[in-house]
């Protein structure tokens, strides 16, 4: 799509702002170097904080009365021993690494066999451009139900789709990333994070009301509505801000061979037959999988409770993704001749692993930083200090949620884990806002807005490095500043739109945020 000069001119100051963010961001070193520098910075800061005895009150429900969170120095003999002993396990135990590698083994087979390319060509050859954008953002939000599948599969696939339609591939990746990560707390179904957050909220609420109970679906109604908000905002930002700013794509910017899979040509008769049998294979696998989950005694349900929540099915979703892509990929490859024997199958897997070299190197240093940051307690100290500052402001009434959501958004830039962040801040915010008259269910809904909207602009998010590695396939010179500047409009617009929807939903229309929930505490008759 050619750059619309008038459209760019209309963006005015906002475009110049994004250009400045990109310029400043690209002054940063390579992400691998950046994480290495951050590791040394954490070591230095921990030494200073430990020397001066920096600490804050430990407000977590499990803490003893009067306990404090103290900064831990890594610039001493004990710290050096800890670093040396855990350097390898920090890397191998980094959860996103295993998730990506295992899932991509199966996805790589489906990709190298030609199945993914055939699916893309089938879906988008005649689809309207605007409809494709909406579908990609919506699919990104829904993909959260299947754990990290959206990051691993949908984001790179969206770049291929956009390129095949003659649009900028980075705009497609941005749209998918906005749906997957910016819409992390929106969905039509209950996800794996819901019971985790609910358990933390219940423990925090019981500091005020020991008998208070919280269930996993307390934000379900609001999250369903949020799915369509994220889809709308993500689509509009892609079409009217991101694509005009990116302009016309220059294929020479891509890495060698990266665009070969993005050619959208009609399927021939052999490919159509292979697609049919691959679909049959996927359907058979899905039926077998359903037989392990749908019945009350399904083997992949929780063996103690019989529930799907916290079950082997959800905990093992990455392994199921691996098999789901592997089987149809092999079937398709056998028919079209791209996978004829075990050597072809192994080569498809190894080629996929080879393309992740940059990501693996980045993860090594990112894993060290995350571990160092956690050991020093600096993240918890920053979160508690920020929460206490907000508490000291003394705001009352619904407007208290604006600085609360803003604080959650800011803390999320440093603590990428939703559960880790909420475990530290919930014991302060939930009791504080309950005492001002708001229910834990509404407080958690507000928190999730702040947590989601800055996921897409922080390198501390576990999968940010993976997205950067995928993006460099289409632009080998892409810097971290370019990625942040591209995603910043989504973050801003989602924050404003989601907060406005929260106030309209909760205080304007007085709608419940989930089943059997109240807006105020104690509940009014």
What are the residue ranges spanned by the domains of the chain? 5-64+79-508
Q: Does the pLDDT of residue 439 top 90, yes or no? A: yes
DSSP sequence for 507-523: IIS---SSTT--SBSSP
Give residue 8's pLDDT: 46
| 474-495 residue pLDDT tens | 998 888 888 888 999 999 999 9
| 176-230 residue pLDDT tens | 999 988 888 888 877 657 777 887 888 788 877 888 888 878 899 999 999 999 9
Between CA 192 and CA 253 the distance in angstroms is 38
Contacts 24+ apart (CB under 8 A), 13-18: 14/241, 14/489, 15/245, 18/245, 18/485, 18/488, 18/489
Give residue 241's pLDDT: 93
> Taking a C-beta distance cutoff of 8 angstroms, is the pair 365, 32 a contact?
yes
User: Residue 498 — very low, low, confident or very high, per pLDDT cuts 50/70/90?
Assistant: very high
Element (H, E) at 387: helix 378-393
Between CA 52 and CA 466 the distance in angstroms is 37
Q: Does the pLDDT of residue 522 top 60, yes or no? A: yes
Task: Tell me the torsion sign for CA atoms 38, 420, 315, 293.
Answer: negative
Q: Does the pLDDT of residue 520 top 60, yes or no? A: yes
Between CA 56 and CA 379 the distance in angstroms is 11
**Residues found in the chain:** 525
Q: What is the mean pLDDT of residues 275-301?
A: 90
Runs of H (alpha helix) within 436-474: 440-453, 464-474
Q: Compute φ and ψ for 321, nearest 5 degrees.
A: -60, -45
> Taking a C-beta distance cutoff of 8 angstroms, is the pair 242, 486 a contact?
yes
> Taking a C-beta distance cutoff of 8 angstroms, is the pair 113, 210 a contact?
no
Between CA 8 and CA 240 the distance in angstroms is 9
Judge if the upstream peptide bond of residue 394 is cis by omega within 30 degrees of 0: no
Nearest to 115 by CA among 127, 106, 125: 106
| 39-52 residue pLDDT tens | 999 999 999 999 99
Q: Write down the mean pLDDT value for the chain.
A: 83
Between CA 48 and CA 419 the distance in angstroms is 28
Give residue 7's pLDDT: 47
More confident residue, 80 or 310: 80
Between CA 182 and CA 176 the distance in angstroms is 9
Q: What is the mean pLDDT of residues 227-253?
A: 93
Q: What is the mean pLDDT of residues 437-447?
A: 93
Q: What is the mean pLDDT of residues 19-35?
A: 72
Give residue 3's pLDDT: 45
> Taking a C-beta distance cutoff of 8 angstroms, is the pair 343, 387 a contact?
no
Give residue 191's pLDDT: 66
Q: What is the mean pLDDT of residues 381-398?
A: 72
Give residue 383's pLDDT: 66
DSSP 251: G
Q: Does the pLDDT of residue 525 top 50, yes or no? A: no
Give residue 1's pLDDT: 42
Integer angstrom CA distances of residue 474 from 163, 249, 256, 271, 329: 9, 9, 9, 26, 24
Give residue 310's pLDDT: 63
Give residue 120's pLDDT: 67
């Amino acid at each position: 799509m050619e750059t619309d000069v008038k459209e760019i001119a209309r963006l005015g100051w906002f475009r110049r702002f994004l250009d400045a963010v990109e310029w400043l961001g690209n002054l940063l070193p390579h992400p691998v170097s950046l994480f290495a520098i951050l590791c040394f910075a954490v070591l230095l800061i921990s030494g200073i904080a430990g020397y001066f005895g920096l600490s804050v009150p430990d407000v977590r429900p499990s803490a003893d009365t009067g306990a404090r969170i103290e900064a831990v120095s890594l610039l001493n003999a004990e710290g050096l021993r800890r670093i040396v002993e855990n350097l390898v396990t920090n890397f191998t135990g980094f959860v996103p690494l295993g998730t990506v590698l295992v899932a991509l083994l199966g996805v790589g087979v489906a990709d190298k066999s030609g199945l993914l390319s055939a699916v893309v060509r089938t879906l988008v050859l005649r689809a309207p451009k605007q409809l494709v954008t909406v579908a990609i953002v919506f699919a990104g939000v829904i993909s959260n139900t299947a754990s990290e599948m959206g990051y691993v599969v949908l984001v790179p696939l969206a770049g291929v789709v956009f390129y095949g339609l003659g649009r900028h591939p980075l705009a497609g990746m941005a749209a998918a990333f906005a749906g997957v990560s910016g819409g992390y707390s929106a969905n039509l179904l209950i996800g794996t994070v819901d019971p985790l957050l609910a358990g933390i909220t219940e423990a925090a609420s019981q500091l005020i009301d020991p008998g208070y109970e919280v269930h996993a679906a307390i934000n379900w109604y609001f999250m369903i509505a949020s799915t369509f908000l994220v889809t709308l905002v993500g689509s509009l930002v892609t079409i009217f801000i991101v694509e005009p700013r990116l302009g016309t794509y220059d294929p020479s910017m891509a890495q060698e061979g990266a665009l070969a899979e993005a050619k959208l040509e009609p399927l021939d008769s052999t490919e159509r037959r292979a697609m049919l049998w691959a679909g049959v294979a996927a359907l058979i696998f899905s039926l077998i999988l359903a037989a392990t989950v749908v019945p009350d005694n399904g083997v992949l349900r929780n063996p103690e409770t019989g529930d799907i929540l916290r079950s082997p099915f959800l905990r093992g979703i990455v392994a199921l993704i691996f098999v789901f892509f592997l089987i149809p990929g092999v079937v398709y490859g056998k028919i079209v001749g791209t996978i004829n024997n075990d050597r072809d199958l192994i080569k498809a897997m190894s080629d996929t692993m080879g393309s992740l070299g940059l990501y693996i190197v980045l993860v090594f240093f990112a894993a060290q930083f995350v571990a160092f940051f956690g050991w020093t307690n600096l993240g918890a100290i920053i979160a508690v200090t920020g929460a206490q500052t907000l508490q000291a402001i003394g705001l009352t009434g619904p407007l208290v949620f604006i600085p609360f959501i803003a604080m959650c958004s800011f803390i999320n830039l440093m603590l990428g884990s939703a559960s880790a962040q909420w475990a530290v801040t919930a014991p302060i915010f939930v009791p504080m806002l309950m005492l001002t008259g708001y229910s834990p269910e509404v407080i958690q809904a507000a928190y999730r807005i702040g947590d989601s909207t800055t996921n897409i602009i922080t390198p501390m998010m576990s999968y940010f490095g993976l997205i950067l590695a995928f993006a460099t396939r289409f632009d080998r010179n892409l810097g971290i500043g370019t990625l942040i500047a591209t995603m910043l409009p989504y973050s801003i617009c989602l924050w404003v739109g989601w907060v406005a929807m929260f106030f309209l939903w909760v205080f304007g229309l007085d709608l419940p945020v989930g089943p059997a929930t109240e807006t105020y505490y104690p509940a009014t008759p």
